Amino acid sequence: MNRKGPGILIVTLFVGILIGSAIGQLLGVFLPADHIVVKALVSPLIPYDAGLWNLNLLIIELTFGFKMNINFFSILGIVGAWYYHKYSY
């Protein structure tokens, strides 16, 4: 019996977000910036910026940052990944 754990679900949803975002960004590259599809589907619906975190270790200084722009295709990727996870194998 094949059991799907929460770790597999998280990885599947993350891959769905990445694929959806890549499709949205590719569509945004090929269409003009003032096109209605770009304004409605590709531009970020929910922008999130966690800012920059600096870690100074005296020898080396590390900077970490996290930024997410969730658009329509990212949400479509989440739905597709959830469907794949639920009904596959």
pLDDT at 2: 67
Single pTM value for the model: 0.74
Average pLDDT over residues 65-87: 90
Could you tell me where the DSSP H helices lie in 1-89?
Answer: 6-30, 36-37, 72-87
Q: Which residue has the tokens 């080396």?
A: 60
Q: Where are the domains of the chain?
A: 7-87
pLDDT at 89: 66
How does residue 5 score in pLDDT terms, banded at 50, 70 and 90? confident
Look up residue 39 and give its two tokens: 């304004």
